[in-house]
Amino acid sequence: MTPEQAIAIIKKYYPEDGIAYNYLYNHSVAVAQLAVKIAEAHTELDPDIEFVHTSALLHDIGIFMTHSPGIGCHGEHPYLAHGYLGRKLLEKEGFPEHALVCERHVGVGISQEDVINNELPLPKRDMMPVSVEEEIVCYADKFFSKNADKLFIAKSPEKILKKLEKHGPDKPGIFRWYMEKYGIPQSG
């Protein structure tokens, strides 16, 4: 898949003049740029850079199926479900590897134990990044929000860690491990 093909998939599900397209496209481009930068800085891990690029562009493809009116999404599912919903969509489109990135990028990954113990509205399975490429997209995604004023402004690691604390005591540790493995991206 090329970046152009990834964008074509986005346009298939998101009208270009829609609010959701604006948020999704700009967020995804910011994440993809950072993910590629991280992948290029870690050639010793042999990441598939084109796959990192295209999967980063598609990682949030499922948001339109969620109820997130602030970003123009009027679906019936909670936002947390966008990862596994994106997986279903990309599997239907014939891109099973990209589909796994969708499912595994949420938070710093969601374990089956997280789903069961917190009664999350998700399938009862592990949804943790497994490959280097999945880790890179997951990590890069944490730096960017879908806040209209901050789509291209990277969050500080401290701000990310503070937000992750709310999702379990192990989540900041996973993010710190990503920082050690992939480095802390520089702004700009």
Exposure letters 1-33 (e unless 16+ CB within 10 A, then b): beeeebbebbeebbeeeebbbbbbbebbbbbbe
Q: Which residue, 44, 185, 170, is CA-closest to 108?
A: 170
Q: Where are the domains of the chain?
A: 3-154
Q: Which of 36, 116, 106 is nearest to 78 (CA)?
A: 106
What pLDDT is attached to residue 154? 87
Q: What is the pLDDT of residue 188?
A: 45
The CATH fold of domain 3-154: Hypothetical protein af1432 (1.10.3210)
pLDDT given at position 70: 92
Measuring CA to CA, which residue among 80, 51, 62 is closest to residue 14? 62
Q: Write down the pLDDT at residue 98.
A: 98
Q: Is 45 exposed, middle or buried (0-12, 13-18, 19+ CB in 10 A)?
A: middle
3-state secondary structure at position 171 = helix
* Confidence at residue 187, expressed as pLDDT on a 0 to 100 scale: 52
Which segments in the chain show pLDDT lower than 50?
188
Beta-carbon-side half-sphere exposure of residue 102 (alpha carbons within 13 Å) = 25
Look up the pTM and report it.
Answer: 0.93
89, amino acid identity = L
